[in-house]
Amino acid sequence: DGAGAYAIEDKISAREIERRCKHLMQIQRTISKKKKKVLVGKEFDLLLEGTSEESDLLLEGRTAMHAPEIDGKVLVNDAPDKLQPVAGKFYRCKITEAHDYDLIAKIV
């Protein structure tokens, strides 16, 4: 209510607001994926947070460049056979795929 735009009489319709929001999100998705693609093949230290909410077959963690609840996740879909990953520990990982907001990695 305190924003200057609130006082403007010619309001934009809710439909137009939604259209513009979707357009901006598409642009942001493209930017995000482009930035993430350059990370494929690189190695990072990963703080393992546990099993992913997306699937019990994936682990989830973050690197130093991932802020919790702000940036995307690093989903781990591969690890050495004898390794028993433990949440709260650091592991070296290699990024294998980039998606719109998340990265896929394997523990090396």
3-state secondary structure of 95: strand
In a domain, 103, yes or no: yes
Q: What are the counts of helices (DSSP H) followed by strands (DSSP E) for the chain?
A: 1, 5
CB of 103 closer than 8 Å to CB of 97: yes
Instruction: Give φ, ψ of 28 to 5 degrees.
Output: -65, -40
- Report the CATH number that the domain containing residue 55 is assigned in CATH: 2.40.50.140
Into how many domains does the chain fold? 1
Is the confidence at residue 46, as pLDDT, over 80? Answer: yes
The one-letter amino acid at 103:
L
pLDDT digits (tens, 9 = 90+) for 49-70: 999 988 989 999 999 988 877 8
- How does pLDDT run across 66-100, given as a tens digit for each residue? 887 788 899 999 988 888 889 999 999 999 999 98
Percent of the chain exceeding pLDDT 70 equals: 99
In a domain, 18, yes or no: no
Give me the chain's average pLDDT, please. Answer: 91
Provide CB contacts within 8 A for 89, sequence distance 6+: 47, 48
Domain range enclosing 64: 36-107
